[in-house]
Amino acid sequence: MINMSEKVIFPSKEWVAKFKDVVNSSKDYEEAAKTWEGDFIFEIIPDGTRNLSEKHQLYCDLWHGKCRDAFLVSTEQPAPEKVEYIYSGKYNNWLALFDGKVGPLKGIMQRKFTVTCSPGAMARLMKALKAAQELVKCTTMVENVEYI
């Protein structure tokens, strides 16, 4: 069981574990993503903001309203060979997203984030905007976060 009141650093293994827990307890996400099938890499690129010095990748396997697996990609724990979506942005933009100042879609239009996926996968993503929004909401619900 994850202790939500414990301070976690973003990005870290502990943050990912808390995030997974938040997603799996969100009724709103579960409802919005009940037919969703597809895994993501969320990529955080250092841009001189605060003290993040390395690129971080967070792998998330999302399936029928639940997060089946989530971890910080590393040499010991690499991402699967084929990941459907890569959602990537600079650290400062991630912080703005967590703060609710940038939406998941508007952020892409503003070139704050990029999505890399196949055309078929893009069609499915565009029909699942509510799920994307709820997933972003989950990131803002991770408590006691200290950003690097």
Among 55, 64, 127, 140, binds another protein (CB under 8 A): 127
118 contacts another protein (rule: CB under 8 A):
yes
101 contacts another protein (rule: CB under 8 A):
no
Contact in structure between 87 and 115 (CB atoms under 8 Å): yes
- The minimum distance between CB 46 and another protein, in angstroms, equals 20
With a CB cutoff of 8 Å and minimum separation 6, the contacts of 35 are 64
Strand order in the sheet with 66-72: 66-72, 56-63, 37-45, 85-90, 113-116
Report the residue number, 74 or 114, with the smaller CB distance to another protein: 114
Q: Contacts with another protein in 8-37 (CB under 8 A)?
A: 28, 31-32
The whole-angstrom separation of Cα 90 and Cα 21 is 25
3-state secondary structure of 26: coil
Tokens of 75: 């040499």
Q: Contacts with another protein in 32-51 (CB under 8 A)?
A: 32
126 contacts another protein (rule: CB under 8 A):
yes
- The minimum distance between CB 140 and another protein, in angstroms, equals 13
Catalogue the E-assigned strands of the chain. 8-10, 37-45, 56-63, 66-72, 85-90, 113-116, 145-147
Could you identify the residue written with the tokens 């590393």?
Answer: 74
Report the residue number, 12 or 133, with the smaller CB distance to another protein: 133
- The minimum distance between CB 96 and another protein, in angstroms, equals 13
1 contacts another protein (rule: CB under 8 A):
no
* Residues in contact with another protein by the rule CB under 8 A: 28, 31-32, 103, 105-106, 108-111, 114-115, 118-123, 126-131, 133
